[in-house]
Structure 1
Amino acid sequence: MRKFAKAKPQREPTIALINIVFLMLVFFMVAGTLAQPLDPSLTLVETRELDGQAPPNALVVYPDGRISFEGEDQADAATFVASLSEEDRETVRIVPDRTLPAAALVSLTRDLRSAGAQRVMLVTKRALE
């Protein structure tokens, strides 16, 4: 008598399929945006008509490199920092003009830090596109 070997059942490659689907899911999560879109009935505030004003306690830097604080011109960064209290020296805010050369902004920041400002922050405009 001859015994026949039982044929092993073929398994489906489901693990490979699950891996591919998982990788596609990760790809689309990374490639797409996960943020909820804005509600179409929402109306955003428009600030086009507002006059631009520097925030309080901010050093305004003009395109020509001139600096002013609360409407008064300042001689230089060292004089400005010397006029501040210890508390105000912790964080100095700068509002630079858009056309100010980057080299002038870096130089001013360096001067403020060497004069005693602990931290220098740039105040910029952010818009929704």
Structure 2
Amino acid sequence: MRLKRPVRRTPPENTIPLINVVFLMLIFFLFAGSIARDDARRMEPPVDITEDESIRSTGALIIDRDGHTHAQDTEISVEAWLEANRTADAGDGPLKVAADGDLPADKLEDVLSALSKAGGTNMVLITRKSAQ
């Protein structure tokens, strides 16, 4: 008597290793994205709905609420900062300026005019998009 052999089923693909890889990549990119230095971490940028939010303040001239200018956590004059960043103005990209949200407009205008008088021609004011 011949018995019918049971049909061999192929086991389903194990997706757990794929899920593990996806979660490891997620953790890696979350960690790698948070390492970037941000010189303007102690100030509140003005809220604005213009320009590109991807512009970072790394290497920017920071203007605090009192109108003092800083670069990499040290107070610096506009002329000294511009001289140190002369290559950026020559064509490698715009000079970045980040102003505190509580900075009065007349003090911002004073710093920007000092930058202009010192020879800065290509500048970007770093702002933040509003939540609206």
Aligned twin of 2:51 = none
Number of residue pairs the alignment of both structures matches = 77
Contact 1:113–1:120 under 8 Å retained in 2: no
Structure 2: where are the runs of 5+ without partners? 1-37, 42-55
Aligned twin of 2:61 = 59
1:108 and 2:115 aligned: no
Contact 2:85–2:95 under 8 Å retained in 1: no
Counterpart code for 2:100: D
1:117 and 2:129 aligned: no
How far, CA to CA, are the matches of 1:55 and 1:65 in structure 2? 17
How far, CA to CA, are the matches of 2:114 and 2:124 in structure 1? 14
How far, CA to CA, are the matches of 1:104 and 1:96 in structure 2? 10
Structure 1: where are the runs of 5+ without partners? 1-50
Note the C-alpha offset of 1:127: 2.5
Superposed CA deviations along residues 4-47 of structure 1, whole A, max 9, x for unmatched, are xxxxxxxxxxxxxxxxxxxxxxxxxxxxxxxxxxxxxxxxxxxx
Could you say what the CA RMSD is over the residues aligned between the two structures, in angstroms? 2.0
How far, CA to CA, are the matches of 1:101 and 1:112 in structure 2? 17
Note the C-alpha offset of 1:128: 3.3
Contact 2:60–2:96 under 8 Å retained in 1: yes
Question: Does the residue aligned with 1:121 lie in a helix, a strand or coil?
Answer: strand
Question: Does the residue aligned with 1:94 lie in a helix, a strand or coil?
Answer: strand
1:83-94 alignment, distance < 5 Å: 83-86=84-87, 88-90=88-90, 91-94=94-97
How far, CA to CA, are the matches of 2:71 and 2:86 in structure 1? 14
Counterpart code for 1:111: A
| Pair 1:59–1:127, CA change in 2 (3 A) | same
Aligned twin of 1:128 = 131
How far, CA to CA, are the matches of 1:84 and 1:77 in structure 2? 11
Q: Which runs of 4+ in 1 moved over 6 A?
A: none
How far, CA to CA, are the matches of 1:64 and 1:55 in structure 2? 19
Q: TM-score, normalised by structure 2?
A: 0.52
Larger radius of gyration: 1
